[in-house]
Amino acid sequence: MIIDRVLFRSKEATLKKDGSESISRSAVKTVSWRLIGTIDTIIISWIITGKTQLAISIGSVELFSKLLLFFVHERAWNLIKWGNNVES
């Protein structure tokens, strides 16, 4: 399956020769982190508003906006070599 290939690839398959991460690895990390963040946002929104439907609406908007923002952020940091201990 496609998900198996993305999730269970060897480290060599997810890193490019220059030590940077592949786009698919960044995408999977983006989605997994965002799911955690969205669940957190829904819970906080529910605690503040007391309304389940409103909390889910807030979480849904946040999910898509932050998926894009995090992916762009991750790819930008992949271009920065500072602090990257990968041997050339």
Residue ranges per domain, the chain? 24-79
Q: How many residues does the chain have?
A: 88
Q: How many CB atoms lie within 10 A of CB 87?
A: 4
Q: Convert the pLDDT of each residue in 2-19 to its tens digit.
A: 555 555 555 545 556 666
Residue 83: which region, alpha, beta or left (left: phi > 0; alpha: psi -120 to 50)? left
Is residue 74 a contact partner of residue 29, using CB atoms and an 8 Å limit?
Answer: yes
CA distance linking residue 24 with residue 7, whole number of Å: 9
Q: Convert the pLDDT of each residue in 28-82 to its tens digit.
A: 887 888 899 999 999 999 999 999 999 999 999 998 898 888 889 888 988 888 8
Which residues, 6+ apart, have CB-to-CB distance to 23 below 8 Å? 75
Q: Is the pTM of this model over 0.85?
A: no
